[in-house]
């Protein structure tokens, strides 16, 4: 999970307000609202950071529970995948907000990926997390989404598929590190790359000098 600099949506909120009066959710499933969310989130699920999402969902960061102002608030609309959104539902609240720099989402939630003998992911809450309850809820949500712990058999299988995708970018970054290919290293951990949060932690923990060089 990384910080997402979301637009202020000033030109889009009027469209959302008009749709709110008819409770027409299509306003954010297509057209300018959808396109702006997709661009802002780099076409990545904000939770798992997969960028090859086959079940794209515009999800409500704070569960709206049929509260229409929450359902049609620009600030509450996030780009996610069906896997993560389904796990999240209304079960995890409050959470760290990846669009709020003050929440320090990347620094707060360490994603520790182990490639072998089988792929595993440990999600750790940093002692520096500025919001403990939000941080712990976020940690538990990501543990279900990425490690597949304590969830259904199907979700566990979906989490394993995500970890296979994570393994590919992990291996790509490992190769770039071996070759000291700085451009590729920078690209792998850039905001719009898949699983950038996990890769940044890998670099920070295992290659701290390189991390210092490439992180802005
Ligand atoms: Zn996801």
- Cα 162 to averaged position of ligand 1 atoms, centre (Å): 9
- Cα 84 to averaged position of ligand 1 atoms, centre (Å): 4
Using CB atoms within 10 Å of the CB of residue 170, give its burial: 0 to 12 exposed, 13 to 18 middle, 19+ buried: buried
Within a domain: 167: yes
- List of long-range contacts for 146-152, beta carbons under 8 Å, 24+ apart: 146/48, 146/111, 146/121, 147/120, 147/121, 147/122, 147/123, 151/87
Distance CA(50)–CA(65), nearest Å, equals: 26
Within a domain: 94: no
pTM of the model: 0.96
* Residues in the 5 Å CB sphere of ion ligand 1: 45, 47-48, 81, 84
- Are residues 110 and 44 part of one domain? no
Distance CA(36)–CA(9), nearest Å, equals: 8
For the chain of 216 residues, list the mean pLDDT of each consecutive stretch of 10.
97 97 96 98 98 96 96 98 95 96 98 96 97 98 95 96 98 98 97 98 97 89
- Are residues 123 and 76 part of one domain? no
- Are residues 36 and 105 part of one domain? no
| Boundary residue ending a domain (88, 117, 142) | 88
pLDDT reported for residue 216 = 66
List the domain range (segments joined by +) for residue 49: 13-88
Helices 31-40 and 13-22 sit at what angle, rounded to 10 degrees?
130
pLDDT in tens, 154-173: 999 999 999 999 999 999 99
- Are residues 195 and 116 part of one domain? yes
- Are residues 44 and 140 part of one domain? no
- Cα 85 to averaged position of ligand 1 atoms, centre (Å): 7
Structure tokens at 142: 């990501």
Task: Give the contacts of 180 (CB within 8 A, at least 6 positions apart).
Answer: none
Distance of CA 131 to the CA centre of its chain: 18
- CA torsion sign for 170, 173, 50, 191 is positive
Spatial CA neighbour of 100 closest among 124, 63, 123, 130: 130
- Cα 179 to averaged position of ligand 1 atoms, centre (Å): 31
Structure tokens at 195: 């699983």
The helix/strand/coil state of 58 is strand
Within a domain: 69: yes
pLDDT reported for residue 215 = 85
Spatial CA neighbour of 76 closest among 30, 9, 142, 1: 9
- Cα 7 to averaged position of ligand 1 atoms, centre (Å): 21
Within a domain: 174: yes
| Boundary residue ending a domain (88, 112, 145) | 88
Within a domain: 205: yes
- Are residues 209 and 130 part of one domain? yes
Distance CA(160)–CA(13), nearest Å, equals: 38
């Amino acid at each position: 999970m990384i910080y997402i600099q979301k637009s202020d949506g000033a030109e889009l909120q009027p469209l959302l307000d008009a749709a709110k009066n008819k409770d027409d959710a299509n306003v954010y499933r297509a057209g300018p609202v959808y396109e702006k969310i997709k661009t802002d989130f780099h076409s990545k699920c904000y939770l798992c950071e997969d960028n090859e999402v086959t079940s794209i969902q515009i999800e409500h960061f704070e569960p709206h529970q049929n509260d229409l102002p929450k359902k049609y608030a620009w600030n509450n609309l996030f780009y996610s995948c069906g896997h993560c959104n389904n796990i999240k539902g209304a079960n995890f609240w409050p959470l760290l907000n990846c669009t709020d720099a003050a929440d320090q989402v990347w620094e707060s939630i360490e994603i520790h990926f182990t490639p072998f003998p089988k792929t595993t992911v440990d999600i750790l809450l940093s002692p520096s997390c500025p919001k403990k309850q939000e941080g712990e809820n976020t940690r538990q949500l990501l543990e279900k989404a990425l490690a597949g712990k304590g969830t259904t058999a199907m979700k566990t299988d979906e989490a394993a598929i995500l970890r296979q995708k994570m393994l590919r970018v992990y291996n790509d970054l490992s190769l770039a590190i071996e070759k000291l290919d700085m451009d590729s290293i920078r690209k792998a951990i850039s905001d719009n790359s898949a699983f950038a949060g996990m890769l940044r932690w890998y670099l920070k923990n295992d290659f701290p000098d390189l991390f210092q060089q490439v992180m802005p």
